[in-house]
């Protein structure tokens, strides 16, 4: 990965920075933001970190997560370099417009916009955290334990702790170095995967009980449901359902995992995850939604049995036109 | 990690080898065995791989897993060097006695025996696979894709794909090199974690429905049950239950996950897993069982409610004497 010299020079030259990342932030957005902020602070720069939605409870373990602010100081921003991390437009940041000195975009998502004065986009990078790791090495700053934990968590979240396809030799070597810098990998994993509330666990069990496996054409779909009643009975909330959709994927024969979560009475957020070559974005767009080949979603209202039937028909059509 | 020269010299000098590993083999025992066999074959040695229980279905994806034999050629063994991998006595191998040329033990488990002529024990190594990886480097053999997949799977299984405490910089760097040698980490993870049968999934859901969280003293135990009826209803079997006990551990407040699996009518195999400092081997030994601090087990017969009460009392006693 080649770090653009322009960015290194800018970080060395400028004094004031504002780091922002996307709404509903996860470990990569937060860890990359905080690590970069800590490095710039070490270089005596004036740095602020903004995230519209703040730090979710489960990421409170990230060292210096308290740096993340949910309010933007617009006056200060005018003379500050804006660094947009792990996303590449203002809409994802949750801001309408900005007045700032310069805009730098650092992202690993494929991009369609040309927002920003300097754009560093690496679609091949598994995580924004790995880009920041390389940037810090290029800057020549020490990576201390606090930065290392933030970068390790960023990388861990976006590679499923090295379980996804995007696990490269480079990211494994970076992880090795971060462990040497003081990260306890077992501790990070416990925070990421063993910090569930009892309510969340109860909701998962309720959801798993609804799993139906339906074969349409040659596609096996695991369909699950979370109703408003289930939220009420377990005391869990929508933010607890992140990742639930991956559980039915453990079944070898399942091609698509589809989860319907009731958002208001009779209206559903459908999430679709597929394995391999099955393109669920085509299904989602049929219902006015969107996404990528292996992860997509849409919104739909109606009786749950009808809604499920609608999905299965769309899958059937997809198979027929292939 | 320092590879004993004695072993390297022996492998270079001798012509016939028999590689054995422990009964109920998992990825580390199998992957380490097969990789070492492939390397010795490349050096034109006569190699056979023995495992009493053979290769479980889920490990059929390991390249050259068909090398593993469940029958031992005793005549051939007499003039062969026996390499005992991922365990350090004959009982674990499932053999009563052996007549062979020499015995080499390569293991990462703490040991109490002095079995074998050459013993290479590395309790700090996360996996036997990492020891074999270092041995192959020392031998100077090429690590081809087939060896790499076996070693990567070995390492992945014993580190929870880099989620456990034993994840070291060394094991991450070895993984990086194995990926460069041709391993697809996403594919290995799919084989390890997304290859469940529908029956196994149904059994998990049945088991999760039974989870009760009980507080005794200051210890939170998640107690779950798998009955013979549940096996019958789902069509799953005992081998499917491996790892089920880890699901309740996702709950942050749970200190001990205890699972009772009915082995014959009214008799139970109790498995205990704990987090942090809670020593479940003390509880297991109270019931005549054994294990380690964070993983132990015992057998018990009786009405399930009594059996559960017995466990909770033992936990209570443990707390009282601390």
Are B185 and A167 a contacting pair at CB < 8 A? Answer: yes
Are A208 and B208 a contacting pair at CB < 8 A? Answer: yes
CA-based nearest residue to B304, from B226, B236, B208, B204: B226
> What is the helix (H) or strand (E) element at residue B248, kind and residue range?
none
DSSP character for B194? S
Count how many Cα atoms sit within 13 Å of the Cα of residue A209 in the half-sphere of its side chain: 14
Q: Report the CATH number that the domain containing residue B204 is assigned in CATH.
A: 3.10.310.30
The residue out of A193, A220, A251 marking a domain boundary is A193
pLDDT digits (tens, 9 = 90+) for A163-173: 998 999 999 99
Least confident of A124-138, A139-153, A215-229, A286-300: A286-300
pTM of the model: 0.91
Report whether pLDDT(A41) > 80: yes
Claim to verify: residue A50 and residue A176 sit in the same structural domain: yes
Give the separation between CA A88 and CA A312, rounded to whole angstroms: 34
**What's the ipTM?**
0.90
Residues 176-215 of B with CB under 8 A from A: 176-177, 179-180, 184-186, 189-190, 193-198, 201, 204-205, 208-209, 211, 213
Contact present, B203 and B241 (Cβ < 8 Å): yes
Give the separation between CA A150 and CA A157, rounded to whole angstroms: 11
Claim to verify: residue B151 and residue B12 sit in the same structural domain: yes
Claim to verify: residue A167 and residue A255 sit in the same structural domain: no
Q: pLDDT class for A264, splitting at 50, 70, 90?
A: very high
Claim to verify: residue A84 and residue A217 sit in the same structural domain: no
């054995």: which residue's tokens? B20
* Nearest chain B CA: its distance from A175 CA (Å): 7
DSSP character for B3? P
DSSP character for B116? S
Q: pLDDT class for A137, splitting at 50, 70, 90?
A: very high
pLDDT at A113: 83
Cβ-based neighbours of B277, under 8 Å, separated by 6 or more = none
Cβ-based neighbours of A140, under 8 Å, separated by 6 or more = none
* Nearest chain B CA: its distance from A93 CA (Å): 30
Contact present, A38 and A146 (Cβ < 8 Å): yes
pLDDT at A171: 98
Q: What are the pLDDT tens digits along chain B (322 aa)?
A: 999 999 999 999 999 999 999 998 999 999 999 999 999 999 999 999 999 999 998 899 999 999 999 999 999 999 999 999 999 999 999 999 999 999 999 999 887 789 999 999 999 999 999 999 999 999 999 999 999 999 999 999 999 999 998 999 999 999 999 999 999 999 999 999 999 999 999 999 999 999 999 999 889 999 999 999 999 999 999 989 988 999 999 999 999 999 999 999 999 999 999 987 889 999 999 999 988 888 899 999 999 999 999 999 999 988 777 7
Average pLDDT for chain A: 95
Contact present, A90 and A96 (Cβ < 8 Å): yes
Give the separation between CA A89 and CA A107, rounded to whole angstroms: 10
Of B162, B164, B166, the CB nearest to A162: B162
Claim to verify: residue A125 and residue A240 sit in the same structural domain: no
The residue out of A178, A193, A208 marking a domain boundary is A193
* Nearest chain A CA: its distance from B145 CA (Å): 15
Are B205 and A205 a contacting pair at CB < 8 A? Answer: yes
Report whether pLDDT(A201) > 90: yes
Per the structure, the complete domain to which residue A231 belongs is given by 199-321
Q: pLDDT class for A280, splitting at 50, 70, 90?
A: very high
SS3 B306: helix
Q: How far is CA A318 from CA A85, A286, A288, A298, B44, in A?
A: 36, 10, 15, 16, 52
User: Radius of gyration of chain B from Cα atoms?
Assistant: 21
pLDDT at A111: 78
Average pLDDT over residues A192-213: 96
Contact present, B146 and B36 (Cβ < 8 Å): no
DSSP character for B4? P
Give the separation between CA A79 and CA B221, rounded to whole angstroms: 55
Report whether pLDDT(A24) > 90: no
* Nearest chain A CA: its distance from B196 CA (Å): 4
Q: Report the CATH number that the domain containing residue B27 is assigned in CATH.
A: 3.90.1640.10
Residues 236-255 of B with CB under 8 A from A: 248-253
Strands B212-216 and B219-226: antiparallel
Longest distance between any two alpha carbons in chain B, whole Å: 62
pLDDT at A277: 81
For residue B38 the two structure tokens come to 């492939």
User: Radius of gyration of chain A from Cα atoms?
Assistant: 21
CA-based nearest residue to A35, from A153, A189, A161: A153
pLDDT at B231: 97
pLDDT at B39: 98
Q: pLDDT class for A138, splitting at 50, 70, 90?
A: very high
> What is the helix (H) or strand (E) element at residue B201, kind and residue range?
helix B198-209
Claim to verify: residue A179 and residue A203 sit in the same structural domain: no
Give the separation between CA A302 and CA A8, rounded to whole angstroms: 53
* Nearest chain A CA: its distance from B205 CA (Å): 6
Contact present, B291 and B272 (Cβ < 8 Å): yes
Claim to verify: residue B148 and residue B56 sit in the same structural domain: yes
Q: What is the 3-state secondary structure (H, E, C) of chain A?
A: CCCCHHHHHHHHHCCEEEEEECCCCCHHHHHHHHHHHHHHHHCCCEEEEECCCCCCHHHCCCCCHHHEECCCCHHHHCCCEEEEECCCCHHHHCCCCCCCCEEEEEECCCCCCCCCCEEEECCCCCCHHHHHHHHHHHHCCCCCHHHHHHHHHHHHHHHCCCCCCCCCHHHHHHHHHHHHCCCCHHHHHHHHHCCECHHHHHHHHHHHHCCEEEEECCEEEEEEEECHHHHHHHCCCHHHHCCHHHHHHHECCCCEEEEEEEEECCEEEEEEEECCCCCHHHHHHHCCCEECCCEEEEEEECCHHHHHHHHHHHHHHHHHHC
Give the separation between CA A312 and CA A288, rounded to whole angstroms: 16
pLDDT at A239: 84
Report whether pLDDT(A223) > 90: yes
Of A168, A194, A196, the CB nearest to B179: A168
Residue numbers in B near A252 (CB within 8 A) = 194-197
Residue numbers in A near B190 (CB within 8 A) = 275
pLDDT at A159: 94
Claim to verify: residue A185 and residue A258 sit in the same structural domain: no
Average pLDDT over residues A10-33: 96
Residue numbers in A near B186 (CB within 8 A) = 163-167
Instruction: Report CA torsion sign: A68, A88, A58, A228.
Output: positive
Claim to verify: residue B80 and residue B108 sit in the same structural domain: yes
Termini Cα distance of chain A: 37
Report whether pLDDT(A276) > 80: no
CA-based nearest residue to B115, from B131, B127, B103: B103
Contact present, A86 and A21 (Cβ < 8 Å): yes
Domain count, chain A: 2
The residue out of B130, B161, B193 marking a domain boundary is B193
Claim to verify: residue A18 and residue A130 sit in the same structural domain: yes
Q: pLDDT class for A294, splitting at 50, 70, 90?
A: confident
Residues 118-177 of B with CB under 8 A from A: 160-170, 172-173, 175-177
Residue numbers in A near B163 (CB within 8 A) = 161, 185-186, 189, 193
Claim to verify: residue A244 and residue A284 sit in the same structural domain: yes
Claim to verify: residue B180 and residue B206 sit in the same structural domain: no
């Amino acid at each position: 990965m080649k770090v653009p010299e322009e960015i290194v020079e800018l970080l060395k030259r400028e004094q004031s920075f504002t780091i922002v990342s996307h709404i509903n932030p996860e470990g990569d957005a937060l860890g990359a933001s905080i690590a970069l902020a800590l490095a710039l602070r070490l270089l005596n720069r004036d740095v602020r970190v903004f995230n519209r939605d703040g730090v979710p409870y489960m990421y409170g373990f990230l060292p210096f997560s308290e740096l993340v602010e949910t309010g933007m100081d617009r006056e200060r921003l005018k003379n500050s370099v804006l660094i947009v991390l792990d996303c590449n437009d203002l809409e994802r940041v949750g801001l309408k417009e900005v007045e700032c000195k310069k805009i730098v975009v650092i992202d690993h998502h494929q991009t369609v916009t040309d927002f920003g004065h300097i754009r560093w986009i690496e679609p091949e990078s598994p995580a924004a955290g790995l880009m920041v790791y390389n940037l810090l090495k290029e800057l020549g700053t020490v990576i201390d334990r606090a930065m290392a934990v933030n970068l390790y968590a960023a990388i861990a979240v976006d590679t499923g702790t090295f379980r996804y396809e995007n696990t490269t030799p480079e990211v494994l070597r970076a992880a090795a170095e971060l462990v040497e810098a003081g990260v306890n990998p077992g501790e990070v994993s416990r925070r990421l995967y063993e910090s569930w509330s009892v309510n969340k666990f109860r909701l998962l069990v309720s959801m798993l009980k609804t799993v139906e496996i339906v074969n349409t054409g040659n596609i096996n779909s695991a369909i699950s449901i979370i109703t408003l009643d289930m939220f009420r009975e377990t005391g869990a909330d929508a933010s607890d359902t992140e990742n639930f959709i991956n559980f039915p994927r453990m079944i070898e024969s399942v091609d698509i995992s589809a989860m319907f979560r009731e958002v208001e009475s009779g209206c559903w957020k459908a999430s679709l995850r597929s394995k391999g070559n099955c393109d669920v974005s085509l299904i989602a767009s049929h219902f006015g939604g969107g996404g990528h080949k292996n992860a997509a979603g849409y919104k739909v209202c109606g009786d749950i049995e009808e809604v499920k039937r609608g999905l299965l028909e769309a899958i059937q059509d997809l198979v027929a036109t292939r």
